[in-house]
Structure 1
Amino acid sequence: MRIPFEITILLILCLHNKSYKCHAVHVGCGTRPRKRAKIVGGTDAQAGSWPWQVSLQMERYGHVCGASLVASRWLVSAAHCFQDSDAIKAYMGMRVMNSVSNAAATRQIRRIVLHSQYDQFTSDYDIALLELSAPVFFNELVQPVCIPASSHAFTSGTSCFVTGWGVLSEEGELATLLQEATVNIISHNTCNKMYDDAVTPRMLCAGNIQGGVDACQGDSGGPLVCLERGRRWFLAGIVSWGEGCARQNRPGVYTRVIKFTDWIHQQTKGQVQPLRLSLLVMI
């Protein structure tokens, strides 16, 4: 495995200074510079809280889906968002939906790469990569989220966050302010019982079994992120599907990102580097 440049520098610093304890970090991804230590049932997010959140918009429709920034010129979203061939723009660093002028960066989409095995009937392999027309520069409002290695495990019961501008209730209006909500990872077996075995190994369930909190229309393609060791945020899932919104025993179903780590790396020609938590451990 090729070690990213930032990690190489960190290795050198650690090896030459025995007084420091070194941990696995990837400089740049998964950080929230503006954050000091609708989603249905969520709350308004503060500016800079989720700097990898992207709004994908079509000229005719406005906001259609969410996405996550994973590198300076690459986004990850859901394949089902791209049934329409209309031109799409990506807005980054934005909090207020009705004011696109407040976006920290705007880019045209140069290319959309849908997974070749995507099945629109079962929602299996529901993932897409979007190449931006030009790279974006990272700042306190625009940062990439970390892509987990294929060996990474998001444990059942882990509390994570889903974000987006989707409707605030079934058949409701899109959110004006970016929403955030806490959801828990639900085991594959438990979720499959609730969905009659429709949940494939490429899917991940998260939410509250009692209902009340969930992603909804307009959140599709957006991020489900979990805070891991090293205080970095990792992309665990991509908003994919569910029965209704925030219903009891009908949690949200997400594309399981760890199943696509190699695909993402290959399609971006190494521009997106998955991060292994155990890459650097020294006492």
Structure 2
Amino acid sequence: LESPLCPPASPAGCGVPAISPSVHYSERIINGQNAVPGSWPWQVSLQTRSGSHFCGGSLINENWVVTAAHCEFNPYSHVVVLGQYDRSSNAESIQVKTVSRAITNPNWNPYTLNNDITLLKLSSPARLGPRVAPVCLAPANLALPTNLQCVTTGWGRTNTNSQALAVRLQQVTLPLVSLSQCRQHWGNQITSSMLCAGGVGASSCQGDSGGPLIYQNRNVWTLIGIVSWGSSNCNVRIPAMYTRVSQFRNWIDYIVAQG
């Protein structure tokens, strides 16, 4: 039960894009497809001040973005870009925001990549609209079935033979993989703070880090994972790891409530 002292970080009306995504449940983001422009309005790009994309993130309300700790966002040298689809276009009405606070989970371990989550407080609230809107956060301790079909999005590498990042936002559908199955690939580096997805011919890849793993439940998209780590060559047969958002929901609500 949510206590009135600590209102939830997710606003009413979250998770419903004004521009409908086109998701076909068959398809780094290797082997993904172009997204419908504007259809993932919570997707943000973390960039250097000169405009180089290095990680993704998700808008969770008008003031806060969630991303991966390993992205090492630095408020002095980095910015959050909202409302972007085509990174080469000058015609998009993007919002470029500085960050007043970057709060990394106190249990983040850069050696094991456990608890890979950071909250970014925007210096001024995002202007919400059709192309900029928050995703819903998974409730605490949400139980998720194996093989649940999820979507991940990002501007990461799309070709294992190239370091180039995607120009247009990519999406791909991936199934959740049980932690026991995941341990067959990764051994006991896998913890209860992680989610495992993929291994079916598609993969997140470098540049997608920090971005969302979401699923649709009764028309509402919910953030269940944050792109964290995987095989160095984005092997599409090996599942990749995502930070399990439900394990951090109470911490997120606590930080956001403090402002």
TM-score (norm 2): 0.89
User: Quick one: structure 1 residues 138 and 3, their matched pair in 2 at CA, closer, same or farther if it must change by over 3 Å?
Assistant: farther
1:1-283 → structure 2 map (5 Å cutoff) = 1-2=2-3, 27-35=12-20, 39-60=29-50, 62-82=52-72, 86-99=76-89, 102-170=92-160, 171-208=162-199, 210=200, 212-228=201-217, 230-247=218-235, 249-269=237-257
Aligned residue identity for 1:197: N
Change over 3 Å in CA distance of 1:173–1:77 after alignment to 2: same
Offset, 1:172: 2.8
Query: Helix, strand or coil: the match of 2:252?
Result: helix
Provide, for residues 71-108 of structure 1, a one-character-per-residue CA deviation record: whole Å limited to 9, x for no partner.
10100000000176752111111100123662432211
1:269: how far off? Answer: 1.3
Query: Residue type matched to 1:179 in 2?
Result: Q
Unaligned stretches of 5+ in structure 2? 23-27
Is the Cα–Cα contact under 8 Å of residues 194 and 249 in structure 1 kept in the other structure? no
Letter in 2 for 1:213: A
Question: Number of aligned pairs?
Answer: 250
Q: TM-score, normalised by structure 1?
A: 0.82
Runs of 4+ in 1 over 3 A off after TM superposition: 83-86
**CA offset at residue 249 of structure 1?**
4.4
What is the aligned partner in structure 2 of residue 16 from structure 1? none
Distance 1:105 1:85, change over 3 A: closer
**Secondary structure, aligned partner of 1:173:** coil
SS in structure 1 at match of 2:248: helix
Runs of 5+ unmatched residues, structure 1: 8-24, 272-283
Q: Kindly provide the amino acid, as one letter, of the partner of residue 82 in structure 1.
A: E
Alignment partner, residue 25 of structure 2: none
- Aligned-pair identity in percent equals 35
Q: Greater Rg, structure 1 or structure 2?
A: 1
After TM superposition, give the deviation of residue 3 of structure 1 in Å: 6.5
Q: 1:165 to 1:248 in 2, by over 3 A?
A: closer
- Cα RMSD for the two superposed structures: 2.4
Q: CA deviation at 1:203?
A: 0.4
- Kept after mapping to 2: 8 A contact 1:194/1:250: yes
